[in-house]
Structures are given as structure tokens and as C-alpha cells.
Amino acid sequence: MFEILSRQELNPTVVRISVHAPLIARKAEPGQFVILRAGTESERIPLTIADYDRIGGSITLIFQLVGAGTMELGRLQVGERLQDLVGPLGKATETEGLRKVCVVGGGVGSAIAYPIAKKLHMQGTVVHSVVGFRTRDLVILEDDFRAVSDELHLLTDDGSYGEKGLVTNALESLILAGNQYDEVIAIGPLVMMKFVSLTTKKYNVKTIVSMNPIMVDGTGMCGGCRLTVGGETKFACVDGPDFDGHLVDFDEALRRGEMYREFEQHARETACKLFPKEDRQNAGA
């Protein structure tokens, strides 16, 4: 179980793996996540399911090498196994009855936005995709998005590829051009989801965001993933991860996300020393 079946580096910091997990693959829906541990002493890491193959019995995970835990995961090669993998957790993204949707993805969040765009496209929803990256080298899943979108807007912050600008600019233009969306589904960094929500609020377009806060167990036990949504405390792991973007207290979520920043920085530096860069490159080759 949990054997890594394939592995690709989508860009210098983003890795895609598919993992043998027939029970999870059978149930997984876009928007749901798994919790995994790479090794026996590893942290539990929540990752949203990027794709699944019910017949082949595998799920796809796309992750950015940001901390010690994801670096450890990134080192695992085809044929090696994850220590633990549990899921699918959280509620699936609701797609029923949607006729026209704008899917907004930012950075590695695009990897999570993609299966939702795919599901919408397969059910006949008109899909406009707006995906943004910092720069050309970080662009991922362009062809995948193109295949499931009626319209694709790819942007980079620095204009090195696609249109220059932020996803909010492109989204606002689409709305102003008269597109009537039943929903905007935005997945990416918290700051991006905050500004997408502020933009759509002006035009009163319902907006769903996918929250990915710090969590331990992923089943409602620790409460570490709590958020304020419409003045109420919600647990992202069991009440979400999808929430109404117009109700989420993003500023609080941003602050809570920084709780272990110092610890993580230190752990990351230690991990970098443990796994020198050339070693990581060799491993990836």
C-alpha cells in the first residue's frame, strides 16, 4: 500500500506523485484531501487530492517543497512507500447545478483547482479558468487546464509568460465583460483568495475558497484548523475545506498561519543541510 507509482517535477519546487491507494481512489472527490506521513518520524501533512484513478486504484498529489515535511516527501522515489496515508477527508466541492463557473488558481493552488475544473467540464458546466503564477518557470498544468476550460487566462506577475498581471485583474475584466458566473471557485495563497473574494463581493458573485490551515489529525479532533466564517468558529477539516469566501475572516487565517513560522524556518534549514541541493537534484533526475 501507498507505493509511489510515478513522480514528476512540474517546476523546480513543485512535485507530482501518484500513489497506490485503492480505497481512497474509490471515494475521492475534487476538493477533498488526505493526510500523509512520509516516514516513521514525520509530521502529518494535509494535501488536497489533485486527481484520482478509480480503476487503477491511485491518487495524484501535487505539492510544493516548502517545509521539512514536504522536502522529505519530495525525496521519495518511484517504488518507495509513504508511511501513512489517510482519506479522503473533508467535504467535496459542491458542483451540482452550476452552469457557468470561473475557476481561479494561484501557484500550486492551481493543482487543486484543476480537478474541480475537470469535474465541472465533464458535467457540462461552462468553465472559465484564470490561473496565475509568479513567473514563467513556475507555470504548471497549462495543457491540463486548457483541455477542460472553455476559456483559459494564464497570467504571470512579471509578464514573463502569458498575460502580465494578477488573477484579480483578469477576473474583474471577465466580470465587467458581462460574464454571469453562478460561482467563482478560488484556490491559492490566502492573500490571493482574500483579494478574489473582495473583488467578487463588489459584483455580488458567490465565491467558494478552499482553506488549507495548520492541522494535525484532519478528523475534527485538534481544532488547530479553526477559522472564523460569518462570525462562527468552523473546523476546516470537517466543516470544509470549502467555505464562502465572502464570510471567511482571512486576516485571522493569515495570522494563524504564521504560528510556527520560526520553527518551520529552522526545520527547513535543518532539512536543507541534511539533504544538500545537489543530492536533491540527483534524486529528482
Partner 1 sequence: MPERNMSPYQTAMPTQPPEQRSHNFDEVALGYTYNMAVAEARRCLNCKNHPCVSACPVGIDIPGFISKVAQEDMEGAFTVLSACTSLPAVCGRVCPQETQCEGVCVRGIKGESVGIGRLERYVADWHRENQSNTQRSVASNGHRVAVIGAGPSGLTCAGDLARLGYQVTVYEALHVAGGVLVYGIPEFRLPKAIVRHEVEGLEALGVKIETDMVIGRTLTVDELFSMGFEAIYIGTGAGLPRFMGIPGENLKGVYSANEYLTRINLMKAYQPGSRTPIQQSFSVAVVGGGNVAMDAARCAKRLGADRVTVVYRRSMAELPARAEEVAHAQEEGIEFRMLSNPVEVLGDEKGWVTGVRCEEMTLGEPDASGRRRPVPKPDGGFTLNIDTLIVAIGTQPNPLLLRTTEGLISDRHGCIVVSDDDGLTSRSHVYAGGDAVTGAATVILAMGAGKRAAQAIHRAITKKQA
Q: Is 268 in the site for partner 1 (CB under 8 A)?
A: no
Terminal Cα-to-Cα distance of the chain (whole angstroms): 25
State the pairing for strand pair 33-37/45-53.
Answer: antiparallel
Q: Is 22 in the site for partner 1 (CB under 8 A)?
A: no
Binding mask 97-126 for partner 1 (x = CB under 8 A): ------------------------------
165 contact partners, CB below 8 Å, separation of at least 6: 132, 155, 157, 159
Question: Are residues 60 and 30 in contact, defined by beta-carbon separation less than 8 angstroms?
Answer: no
Q: What's phi and psi for 150, nearest 5 deg?
A: -75, -25
Binding to partner 1 (CB under 8 A) within 151-170 occurs at none
| Three cell numbers, residue 152 | 483559459
Q: Is 66 in the site for partner 1 (CB under 8 A)?
A: no
Selected binder of partner 1 within 142, 256, 280, 284 (CB under 8 A): 256
Name the one range near partner 1 by CB under 8 A: 3-11, 42-50, 105-113, 153-161. 42-50
Q: Is 89 in the site for partner 1 (CB under 8 A)?
A: yes
Name the one range near partner 1 by CB under 8 A: 73-81, 149-157, 200-208, 257-265. 257-265
Question: Shortest distance, CB of residue 227 to partner 1, whole angstroms?
Answer: 8
Number of chain residues interacting with partner 1 (CB under 8 A): 39
Residues in the chain: 285
Selected binder of partner 1 within 220, 244, 274, 281 (CB under 8 A): 220
Question: Shortest distance, CB of residue 285 to partner 1, whole angstroms?
Answer: 26
Taken in order 140, 143, 147, 150, the sign of the CA dihedral is positive
Cis upstream peptide for 46 (omega within 30°): no
DSSP conformation class of 249: -
Q: Is 68 in the site for partner 1 (CB under 8 A)?
A: yes
Q: Is 42 in the site for partner 1 (CB under 8 A)?
A: yes
Give 32's Cβ-side CA count (13 Å radius): 20
DSSP conformation class of 83: S
Site residues (CB under 8 A) for partner 1? Answer: 23-24, 27, 37, 41-44, 68-69, 83-89, 216-217, 219-224, 226-228, 233, 238, 252, 255-256, 258-260, 263-264, 267
